[in-house]
Amino acid sequence: MSKIIVGVDASAGASDAICLATRLADITGAEIMLVNVFPYDQHPSRAVNTAFEQYLRQDSTELLEALRSRLGDATVAVHAVPNTSSAHGLDTIAEREDADLIVVGSTHTGRTGRVLPGSTAERLLHGAPCPVAVAPKGYGDHAAKAPTSIGCGFDGSPSSQRALEAAGGLAAATGARLRVILAFRPGSDIAAKGVPFGGMAVYNDGLRDQAHDELDAAVAELGLPAAEGELVIGDAERVLADRSQQLDLLVVGSRGYGPMHAVIVGSVAGRLMREAACPVIVVPRGAGHTRADSLFVTAASVQG
């Protein structure tokens, strides 16, 4: 069965992460596991202190039990993990449990209603073995509801195609309107493009038409009546951040370089994570996380 790992601590962001994970679990039928990483290095060394580890583990376990009690579901799994890096601890558990998603909250220093990943989330976004979702600050304060508007950043690349598959699965499961957003930035360097003087406008028109055709084809292939494409002139991160204000959820692909099947966030997704006004899911480049029985692709069958 699919599993969602929720990284929690004593901050308010934990409630936001749990709320988002619960909503996604309701949609996908996935199990939830609450994980708290406490700061202890288990590697043999002179610094090993078994009594101290037990003290930290007990404190971690009590926090997890309190959060599970607040969630009101005794069947939710909890796990206390010793690691000097919270991100590494969550990565390790996600790999061990073959998790389909890691959910974390935003840092408490961010603006309410905005995604601003803290240090743990930042590190997760640059190497997690599965998709990562970040809940905006204050997300848990809103009444639970299924998303009615889901957005997906698309640019024709393989990574954005995988994000579109995930977003399409969630939209099909919830009946939400899916907005597939392509940001188009016109070219301006005539010499580099080899475009004759006076021909840049025509050249850009051709590129825009090509991008529009690719967008229309991608939307049509989804086969969803409530899906629509939107081509917007501007930088991708700014366009998507602006559109996120009208969305309940935004899905984007990873673009950086790194291990296959790992989330390695490129510049657009990295900047977007600091500006989005709704939860953001970053989908990894590896095809293994969009297989036929993945968390998002099977969401529609779960709801049916």
Overall domain count for the chain = 2
Whether residue 290 has pLDDT greater than 90: no
- Report the distance separating Cα 301 and Cα 292, nearest Å: 11
Tell me what percent of the residues of the chain surpass a pLDDT of 90. 43
- Residue 292 and residue 205 in one domain: yes
Q: Which of 121, 145, 169 is the last residue of a domain?
A: 145
Residue 196 is predicted with a pLDDT of 58
- Residue 152 and residue 140 in one domain: no
- By C-alpha distance, which of 118, 156, 58, 124 is closest to 264? 124
More reliable by pLDDT, 110 or 188:
188
Residue 237 is predicted with a pLDDT of 84
134 and 278 Cβ atoms separated by less than 8 Å: no
- Report the distance separating Cα 266 and Cα 272, nearest Å: 10
Whether residue 102 has pLDDT greater than 50: yes
- By C-alpha distance, which of 112, 31, 114, 131 is closest to 78? 31
- Residue 276 and residue 153 in one domain: yes
- Residue 136 and residue 153 in one domain: no
Q: Which of 145, 163, 185 is the last residue of a domain?
A: 145
Whether residue 81 has pLDDT greater than 90: yes
The region of weakest confidence among 28-37, 69-78, 116-125 is: 116-125
Residue 271 is predicted with a pLDDT of 67
* Mean pLDDT value across residues 286-304: 56
Summarize pLDDT for 159-173 with one digit per residue, the tens. Answer: 888 899 999 999 999
Q: How confident is the model at residue 142 (pLDDT cuts 50, 70, 90)?
A: confident
- Residue 247 and residue 182 in one domain: yes
* Mean pLDDT value across residues 179-189: 83
- Residue 82 and residue 35 in one domain: yes
- Residue 50 and residue 162 in one domain: no
pTM listed for this prediction? 0.85
Q: Which of 106, 122, 145 is the last residue of a domain?
A: 145
Whether residue 9 has pLDDT greater than 70: yes
- Residue 113 and residue 250 in one domain: no
CATH of the domain at 71: 3.40.50.620
Summarize pLDDT for 213-236 with one digit per residue, the tens. Answer: 999 999 999 999 999 999 999 888
- Residue 52 and residue 200 in one domain: no
Residue 223 is predicted with a pLDDT of 93
- Residue 88 and residue 123 in one domain: yes
- Residue 215 and residue 129 in one domain: no
Summarize pLDDT for 252-261 with one digit per residue, the tens. Answer: 987 654 443 4
Domain span at 187: 147-304
- Residue 72 and residue 152 in one domain: no
Query: To the nearest whole number, what is the mean pLDDT of the chain?
Result: 81
